[in-house]
Amino acid sequence: MSHANNRLTQGGLIDRQQTINFSFNDKPYTGVAGDTLASALMANGVDLIGRSFKLHRPRGIMSAGVEECSAYVQVGNGARHTTNVSATQIEIYEGLNSRSIHCWPSVEHDVGAMVGAFSRLLPSGFYYKTFMWPAKFWNIYEHAIRGSAGLGKAPEVEDADTYEYRYDHFDLVIVGSGPAGLMAARQAAPSGARILLVEQDFKFGGSLLADTAKIDGQTPLQWVEQSLTELQQFANVTLLPRTTLTGYYDGNFLTALERVTDHLAENVRRRGIARERLWKIRAKQVILATGSIERPLVFGNNDRPGVMLASGARSYINRFGVKPGQKAVLFTNNDTAYQSAIELQQKGVTVAAIVDVRQAPPKALRQQASNHNIPLISGSVVHNVLGKKRVTAVEVAGLSAQNTLTSEQQQIQCDLVIQSGGWTPTVHLFSQAGGKLLYDEAQLCLRPDPASIPQELQSVGACNGHFSLTDALREGAEAAHQALLEAGFQSTQANWPEADESSSCIPQALWRVPVRKQGTKRFVDLHNDVSSSDVELANREGYRSVEHLKRYTATGMGPDQGRTSNINALAILAEEQNSTIPAVGTTRFRPPYTPLSFGAVAGRQVGEFFQVRRKTSLYETHQQAGAVFEPAGLWLRPDYYPLAGENREQAVLRECRAVRQGVGIFDGSSLGKLDIQGPDSLKLLNMLYANGWNTLKPGACRYGVMLKEDGFIFDDGVTACLGENHYHMTTTTGNAETVYSWVEEWLQCEWSDWDVYVTPVTTQWAAVSIAGPNARELLQQVGTDIDLSTEAFAHMQFREGTVAEIPARVFRISFTGEHSYEINVPSSYAPALWNALIKAGANLGIQPFGLEAIHRLRAEKGYIAVGLETDGTVTPFDLGMSWAVGKKKADFLGKRALSLPELTRSGRRQLVGLLTDEPAYVIPEGAQIRLESAGQTRSQGHVSSSYMSATLGRSMAMALLENGLERLGEKVTLHIDGKTVTAQVTKPLFYDEDGGLLNA
């Protein structure tokens, strides 16, 4: 296949001998080493890169860098698929495959383009306005909208690559390797300070890569080479290319994304090497040398392929050795772009005209244009671009003093429009760091306010609003000198070389070029298809704040973050309000500067490393028993233990029956455990729990409810008195850490003079529960030196001894309602204990039971589960647990709040049982109990726990119901997925009401 060849025969930072094959929209092309995807496509004469976001207009290449707002593509496929990346930032590699986005069936023949014809019907806020009503049709609209809008295609399979973090500390971080950054690095290197220089490009040099001005008598490239050679001698200097400083946070904490393998052919990317590395850096001093971005002008059809920034064109011709067109027109309002036009002309692009907004451009420039035979049309504007998929001509007219078009007009044939509306300092990182911007009236830009330097940082060169090469070199050297002194290093006097360029950037403001024909689109933000009329409309509709404008029109959003559009949008908004840019203000820049992949953010924390998984010392034992595990907080706990052919429900019902009829064994090791010692232990328990502890004797256990100071239940559990001033507290699994920090907080912050120590011992002790009518028999059979008679060891007692010859703490407590022992042994003994119990229990019908079974068993007994029956708004009284509140106690956490009006009012939701009229039906947990009165429906309660009970042979539920305790026997109605369910309100207790089994 033959392609147009726009490659120059010589010049540029490319290696013409090293060809690279790639594809775009399934067509094969060839580029060379040193190319970006954009330069390679341009060399092949590909003008049309994609379609625009909303209007599906044809779009080409607008720039040569990070500011690209037009040429977005997707790269790779399958497990290596990245979407919404700008072609100007993709370094090509052998086998690269890339595609357009936003177009169907192809970029040349895009069905969505007909939207463009109706663009008047798609103003800002169109979706909000049109698809608001009727609400129930939204899901129909949404389907169509999502299909036609959106950015690229999301990957459909798991990412094949790995990602990683790296943490580091530096004395000085320099961001950007243009003249200012390189100069700063050279000044700082000899000091021995640890220095990091990051550059987002794959080549160091920044603007110098496309520049021609002399530094110290050298070409810019020679000076860059010399600088790099010098810097590489220093072991204390790290040079990091392909790395974008994406975030600037408090305390000089920086994140930088290093693209490690994206530029390599897929077959040479080595397994185990991360695709991207996210650096997390703490810097003593930072120098921002991030340069500036050329600003486009806002004129008719300024989005046509072939319209680009002058700096971009200069980069293609000088750095990439590619002609961006054959015949160009420069449209400018300032001096800086003249050099680009002249260099294009020198490299063989005919420059048909320079159209300058200014009536009288400086004489030197007029002379230069004339020397190069370039016609200069001053006091004029390009007001319209002709051509659809490529520029074919521009319409030029004179500009009156009132900024209207004069009758003086002409059409100029061309296929390239290069433009410059001035320069915008790249202040994103300064702003992220907390710095304020000030508006520079002369240079028409926002630059860092020197009076508001937020952190240990300095902005130098163009990003500081000082655009000349000389200024960049001087500020770079001076800032490095200053930074070294601040960081405690020696630094010699700042030195910098002379440069023979000192261009000024004083543009003439023209924020909107007038149009001849009403309705001609003048784009402000190409990336989001926002035109000047959208900004005007937003302002008319009252979206007058910058923040509202941004959200209503999407200006400045998306991958390019408005790098080229922000100032123009602000200026137009200011003009519409007869105000000024400083008065309308600016939006603050937020991280990241350029998009971060989800992979980089996740790092290694994917798959099994996504979250910590805690396992009890019985995990393998459960696995061998065929347990199905369930995450409970961070723990993996057995949910049930199916036998061959059993489903979950069958297994759970069998486990429940085993506990009620024989004996079950349960791993409760994850229960939180705190060891409390010291003379003030009792005082502490009395404050932490709502109930009283004074009468708890060594060898006894007591259940307690813990409240927050707001009176609501926070946790519950059993505490045993191990001896004088020594207690063993248990918490729920999920709250183990929370309760410990809660206790510590009170002890450190409020009761620091109390003599008591709390130690978390959750993982020191494994807890194996045996429960059921045969539990005592089982303990006897497995062998223990503890007297198990009821007289010697009653319910809610604790004994120390041996079980199966293992030293153990045995608690006679129960969460199932059955006769039950919780045997605590040092964790490493747990498998031995478990296996001994299973063996000894074989003839007693022993069965392991899991989380689901224990939940059903405790619900039969009406025992609450923190997090189900409580949700942070439930008091002990709501749960009918006034017995667990020590009303005579002088004080405890939460006591005072229990008498606040809200907590004592009538109509609070109270815990009840529910029995459905249809016994086989299990109400879903969370179902609302409806109250219908006077044509209104509202919730009067909700179901907190609901199960099929093996014991009852029917379903049962617990619910929180308004005034529930007074409503026993009443019928309530629930509507669940179109089904009406009626249920009877009962006491929340379905089994062994008098607790005879527990005490037997």
Partner 1 sequence: MLLINCPFCGAREEHEFHYGGQAHITRPADPEQVDDKAWADYLYYRKNTLGLQAERWQHSFGCGQWFNALRCSQTHQFKAVYKMGDDAPEGLS
How far is Cα 918 from Cα 932, in angstroms, rounded to an integer?
Answer: 22
- 205 versus 672: smaller Cβ distance to partner 1: 672
- 745 versus 871: smaller Cβ distance to partner 1: 745
- 247 versus 704: smaller Cβ distance to partner 1: 247
**Cβ within 8 Å of residue 23, ≥6 positions away:** 29, 96, 97, 98
Residue 674 CB burial class (10 angstroms; 0-12, 13-18, ≥19): buried
- 266 versus 710: smaller Cβ distance to partner 1: 710
- 896 versus 971: smaller Cβ distance to partner 1: 896
Q: 355, 414, 385: which is closest to 516 by C-alpha?
A: 385
Q: Which two tokens stand for residue 894?
A: 């939460």
Minimum distance from CB of 56 to partner 1 (Å)? Answer: 42
Q: Which amino acid is at 527?
A: H
How far is Cα 403 from Cα 379, in angstroms, rounded to an integer?
Answer: 10
β-strand partners of 354: 330, 376
∠ at Cα 583 (578, 584), nearest 5°?
80
- 108 versus 891: smaller Cβ distance to partner 1: 891
Q: Dihedral through CA 375, CA 378, CA 383, CA 385, nearest 10?
A: 20
Minimum distance from CB of 769 to partner 1 (Å)? Answer: 31
Q: From the CA atom positions of the chain, what is the Rg in Å?
A: 37
- 282 versus 544: smaller Cβ distance to partner 1: 282
Q: 292, 210, 203, 303: which is closest to 243 by C-alpha?
A: 203
Residue ranges in contact with partner 1 by CB under 8 A: 249-251, 253, 282, 434, 454, 709-710, 741, 744-745, 748-750, 752, 890-891, 895-897, 900-901
- 710 versus 805: smaller Cβ distance to partner 1: 710
Minimum distance from CB of 454 to partner 1 (Å)? Answer: 7
- 542 versus 901: smaller Cβ distance to partner 1: 901
Q: 232, 132, 250: which is closest to 189 by C-alpha?
A: 232
- 377 versus 743: smaller Cβ distance to partner 1: 743
Minimum distance from CB of 752 to partner 1 (Å)? Answer: 6
**Cβ-count burial 593-609 (b if 16+ within 10 Å, e if not):** bbbbbebbebbeeeeee
Minimum distance from CB of 899 to partner 1 (Å)? Answer: 8
**Cβ within 8 Å of residue 320, ≥6 positions away:** 12, 13, 14, 34, 35, 36, 39, 42, 43, 64
- 785 versus 891: smaller Cβ distance to partner 1: 891
Minimum distance from CB of 896 to partner 1 (Å)? Answer: 4
- 889 versus 930: smaller Cβ distance to partner 1: 889
**Cβ within 8 Å of residue 961, ≥6 positions away:** 909, 910, 912, 929, 940, 941, 967, 972, 985
How far is Cα 127 from Cα 575, in angstroms, rounded to an integer?
Answer: 26
Q: Residue 132: what are its φ and ψ, rounded to 5°?
A: -70, -30
Minimum distance from CB of 437 to partner 1 (Å)? Answer: 17
Query: What totals of helices (H) and strands (E) does the chain contain, helices first?
Result: 25, 47
Parallel, antiparallel, or unpaired: how do β-strands 457-459 and 350-356 relate? Answer: unpaired
- 247 versus 461: smaller Cβ distance to partner 1: 247
How far is Cα 411 from Cα 430, in angstroms, rounded to an integer?
Answer: 43
Which residue is it, tokens 């433009």?
419
Parallel, antiparallel, or unpaired: how do β-strands 663-667 and 954-962 relate? Answer: unpaired
Minimum distance from CB of 191 to partner 1 (Å)? Answer: 23
- 435 versus 772: smaller Cβ distance to partner 1: 435
- 169 versus 648: smaller Cβ distance to partner 1: 169
Minimum distance from CB of 242 to partner 1 (Å)? Answer: 24
Minimum distance from CB of 608 to partner 1 (Å)? Answer: 22
In 199-275, which ranges are E strands? 237-240, 243-249, 253-259
Minimum distance from CB of 455 to partner 1 (Å)? Answer: 9
Q: Are 706 and 713 in contact (CB under 8 A)?
A: yes
Q: Which amino acid is at 617?
A: S
Minimum distance from CB of 710 to partner 1 (Å)? Answer: 6
How far is Cα 316 from Cα 7, in angstroms, rounded to an integer?
Answer: 10
Q: Residue 647: what are its φ and ψ, rounded to 5°?
A: -95, 180
Which run of H or of E encompasses 780? helix 775-782
Which residue is it, tokens 């000899």?
190
- 547 versus 891: smaller Cβ distance to partner 1: 891
Minimum distance from CB of 432 to partner 1 (Å)? Answer: 13
**Cβ-count burial 81-118 (b if 16+ within 10 Å, e if not):** bbbbbbbbbbbbbbebbbbbbbbeeebeebebbebbee
- 408 versus 902: smaller Cβ distance to partner 1: 902
Minimum distance from CB of 609 to partner 1 (Å)? Answer: 17
Minimum distance from CB of 653 to partner 1 (Å)? Answer: 43
**Cβ-count burial 920-930 (b if 16+ within 10 Å, e if not):** eebbeeebbbe
How far is Cα 922 from Cα 901, in angstroms, rounded to an integer?
Answer: 36
Any idea what DSSP says for residue 884? G
Minimum distance from CB of 676 to partner 1 (Å)? Answer: 16
Minimum distance from CB of 750 to partner 1 (Å)? Answer: 6
Minimum distance from CB of 588 to partner 1 (Å)? Answer: 14
Q: Which two tokens stand for residue 934?
A: 């006077």
- 310 versus 743: smaller Cβ distance to partner 1: 743
